[in-house]
Amino acid sequence: MSNMIVGFSKLSKSEKIEWLLNTYFTNIEASRDLVKKYWNTDKKLQKLHDEFIENTITNYYLPLGVAPNFSINDSLYAIPMAIEESSVVAAASKASKFWLERGGFKTKVISTTKIGQVHFIYKGDFEKLKGFFDDVKPKLIEASKDITKNMERRGGGILDIELRNKTNDIDNYYQLHASFETLDAMGANFINSCLEQFASTLKNEALKNVDFNDEEKSIDVVMSILSNYVPNCLVRAEVSCPIKDLKSKDIPNPEIFAKKFKQAVSIAEVEPYRAVTHNKGIMNGIDAVVLATGNDFRAVEAGVHAYAARNGKYLSLTHCTIDNGLFKFWIEIPLALGTVGGLTRLHPLVKFSLELLKNPTAKELMQIVAVAGLAQNFGAVKSLTTTGIQQGHMKMHLMNILNQFEATTEEKTKLVEHFKTNTVTHSAVVDAIENLRR
C-alpha cells in the first residue's frame, strides 16, 4: 500500500504534518497554513496541548459558552458549556431564567458508588470456588492497601467485592464484582489499579489452594476493568411550580401547556424512537458541561444510555407529573464525574470552568450537570409543544449559514434584522443573500 507508513509516532510534529500534507492533500500550502493557524502562540501552552494525546498536529477548537442565572438549591450559577451545536446554550439560558422566577432547580445526590470487575474463567466446582473466595476476600483487600491508603485517608476506597457466577451466559465465566467510593476523583485509574491487584492476588492464591485440583488452580483472568455503567452513582434534579405560575409571554394558557408538555414526556417514556431523540437533547446539555469541566463525556454517554435501557426497553430519562394543580418535571441520572485528577489540573480552561462553578466537589458537579440536562430538555420539549423546534433553532443557526457564504459584517447586520420577521430556512437565507448582493 503506497500510503502506508512505519514509525509515524516517532516523527517530529513537523515531520508528521509534512508527510500527511504530501500524501493526502492537493493544496499543500493552504493546508499547512490551516494547521498552523490553530496552534497556540503561547509555546508552553501549545506543548501542554500536544502532550494530552498522541500524534498531535494541531488543535481542534470548540466554543466555550456560558448559560447564566441557574438557581440550584438556592445558589446562583453561571454554567460553562463546550459545544458546537447552535441553540443549545441559548435554550439552557432561557430555561434557567424561566425557572429562576419559579423557585429554581432542586437537586440531591442519591448515591455515589462506582463499579469495577475482574472477568475470569474457572473450570471446576462452583461451591469450591465460593468457599475459596470467602477465604481470599480479605486478602484481596489487604493486598491493595498500598493503592487504597490515600483514598481511604480521605474517606473513600473499596466498598465491597462480590463473586458472581455468570456460567449461564458463558461456560466457566465468573466475575469479581467490586464497588468503590472515589470521592472527588472520577477514579478510573484508582479502580483499574485495584482490580489488577485483585486479579494478581486471586491467581496467586488459587495456585496455593490445597482444595483445588490442577485445573481449578489455573484461574484464567480475561481482563480487569472498571465499568462505565454506574446505576448506583445517581443524582436527581427537578423543577416544580403551580400550573398557573407557568404562564409567560410564550405560554398564554398554562393549563394547556402543562397537559401537552406532560403528553410529550409520556410519549418518550413509552416510544424508543422518540426517547432516543428526547435523551439526545438532554445530553446536549450534559455533554457540554462534562466537556467544559474536563470529564469523560464518552463514558457518561455510555452509562446514561445503558441506564435508559435498564428495564429492557430504551426510554426517557426525564419524567413529568401534574398533581393537584402542581407541575413537576425531573430527571434521575447516573453520572460518574471528578473534580480532581485527569485534565482538571492540566487544562487551563477546565480550571477556569471549575472556578466559574465555585470549585465544586464531585457531588456538587453531579448536581450541576444534571440540572444542565434537565434545563436543556425542558427548553426542547417546551419549544416542541409550543412554537415548534425549528423556529428557535434555525434563528440560532442563521449565523452559521451566513458564515458559510462569507457574509460581511454589514450583510450580517441587515440579514439578521430581515429574519427577525421572516422564517429562517437554508434556501431563504441563500435567496436573501443573493438579493442583497444584487
Enzyme catalytic residues? 85, 280, 296, 393
Query: Which element (helix H / strand E) includes 145?
Result: helix 145-153
- The CA-atom distances, in angstroms, between 19 and each of 12, 37, 116, 289 are 11, 18, 41, 36
Quote the CA–CA distance of 245 and 327 in Å, as a whole number.
9
Among the listed residues 218, 199, 198, the one whose alpha carbon sits nearest the alpha carbon of residue 208: 218
Query: Which element (helix H / strand E) includes 79?
Result: strand 75-82
Largest distance between two CA atoms of the chain: 91
Q: Are 216 and 123 in contact (CB under 8 A)?
A: yes
Strands ordered across the beta sheet of 234-242: 106-109, 234-242, 326-334, 318-323
Among the listed residues 377, 378, 367, 380, the one whose alpha carbon sits nearest the alpha carbon of residue 71: 367
Quote the CA–CA distance of 378 and 404 in Å, as a whole number.
30
